[in-house]
Structure 1
């Protein structure tokens, strides 16, 4: 397997979210999982892209194993982030899970057209939110094989 725990390190997760309550719920949800997680947080898409490109204050940050992305944020929203990631050769391999309040068909379809890996509607109550975080963790860090970086290698 090629998952963070298999490589002896915590999972690096980037949460792109402007709502402080949702940030805290996500932090608590990850604390309830059995997986070691480094949860990084940025409040909008501009900061997300700086984090991913290791610009400015983010120069020493690790590349995330998974991005949790809200759609509706100030400055640069989730749709624009998905567009920027899909156009960037160094970033397009990153799995992006849209985690948002919108269940509108246009948002779901639009996100998948922009190559999101999954689309999850945020539950409104904490227990269901915590269950979503646990399921997300189990799926992405137990079942799925993740790339170690963006460079392809010949496996033979």
Structure 2
């Protein structure tokens, strides 16, 4: 594995942790037009997210994601629980985590940032507005921001 920075034209691996199929579909649609074609991996709960990130069980060969899009209100292990666990792991806390939430709660936002979230995005009730928001996220995080080297050590 190389320690050189990835070519900005390389596709990015994104992990979407989303239990709502409709919201997952909107994120997929928003990212479908981006060049280069990014690779979106989707899991539906917190336990699956941790299996993916720790390369356990069915995800033993999962790639290290460049970014995690984490729904805050997940069944079972919540987004807050996932974020707290990842923020305690030095190898994984360098992966940018963007919290997606339908909540307007200031407490949720403070909790997310306290546990090392890199951003919080509010899901709107308007699908077109949500797609636009995800495209703005994508433009910044995948074109402008400098991301950790995905070939680095876990």
Q: TM-score, normalised by structure 2?
A: 0.91
Change in CA separation of 1:124 and 1:2 when aligned onto 2, cut-off 3 Å:
farther
CA–CA separation in structure 1 for the residues paired with 2:123 and 2:5: 28
**Equivalent in the alignment of 2:82:** 81
Change in CA separation of 1:35 and 1:125 when aligned onto 2, cut-off 3 Å:
farther
Structure 1 stretches lacking a partner, 5+ long: 152-156
- Please say if residues 10 and 36 of structure 2, whose CA atoms lie closer than 8 Å, have aligned partners that are also in contact: no
CA–CA separation in structure 2 for the residues paired with 1:135 and 1:92: 23
Q: Deviations over 1:77-117 (max 9, x none)?
A: 00001110011122110100001101210001111111100
Q: How many residues align?
A: 150
CA RMSD of aligned residues (A): 1.8
**Equivalent in the alignment of 1:40:** 41
* SS of the residue 2:47 aligns to: helix
Q: Deviations over 1:98-141 (max 9, x none)?
A: 01101210001111111100001012122111111110111001
Are residue 97 (structure 1) and residue 113 (structure 2) matched? no
- Please say if residues 14 and 39 of structure 2, whose CA atoms lie closer than 8 Å, have aligned partners that are also in contact: yes
- Please say if residues 35 and 137 of structure 1, whose CA atoms lie closer than 8 Å, have aligned partners that are also in contact: no
**Equivalent in the alignment of 2:112:** 111
1:10 shift after superposition: 1.0
**Equivalent in the alignment of 1:64:** 65
CA–CA separation in structure 1 for the residues paired with 2:56 and 2:107: 32
**Equivalent in the alignment of 1:54:** 55
Structure 2 stretches lacking a partner, 5+ long: none
CA–CA separation in structure 1 for the residues paired with 2:62 and 2:119: 24
- Please say if residues 79 and 111 of structure 1, whose CA atoms lie closer than 8 Å, have aligned partners that are also in contact: yes
CA–CA separation in structure 2 for the residues paired with 1:144 and 1:104: 27
**Equivalent in the alignment of 1:122:** 123
1:2 shift after superposition: 4.5
CA–CA separation in structure 1 for the residues paired with 2:123 and 2:46: 19
1:31 shift after superposition: 1.0
CA–CA separation in structure 2 for the residues paired with 1:143 and 1:72: 28
